[in-house]
Amino acid sequence: MSNDTSYTAAGTGAYGDHAEATRHSAARSTLNGLMTWLGAAGLAAARESAGLQATIDQHAACVRDALGDPEHGPGAVALAGYATGVRDALIEAQWQLPPTGDIDWAHLEWPALRLISICALARAGGLV
């Protein structure tokens, strides 16, 4: 049996470092895609509407609570995982968001608000 410990389940060593870097890269890619698709337009609309901003802030607080609210905010992997879970549930429910140019920002549904709040947290954390 080899004593080679260059990789372990705990993620230490060369393999673990590479796996961790890959997870972070994939997470940032997911968050950047979400920001491009919906977040940038939603956050711009929120800057124009105090009510929308307050609602997004409330959703962001719920996301932080769901992810354990670490001291410096959720990390990329946690946020991307949460976003992917929301997306998968929406696909299963056959929910569709209209093109961003057709969205009534004053009457957003829960899923769009939750996804925009993830973008707000990612932006606040310097992840996108």
Show pLDDT as tens, one digit a residue, over the chain (128 residues). Answer: 444 433 445 555 667 788 889 999 999 999 999 999 999 999 999 999 999 999 999 999 999 999 987 777 899 999 999 999 999 999 999 999 888 889 999 999 999 999 999 999 999 999 99
Entry pTM: 0.84
Measured distance CA(47)–CA(41) in Å, rounded: 10
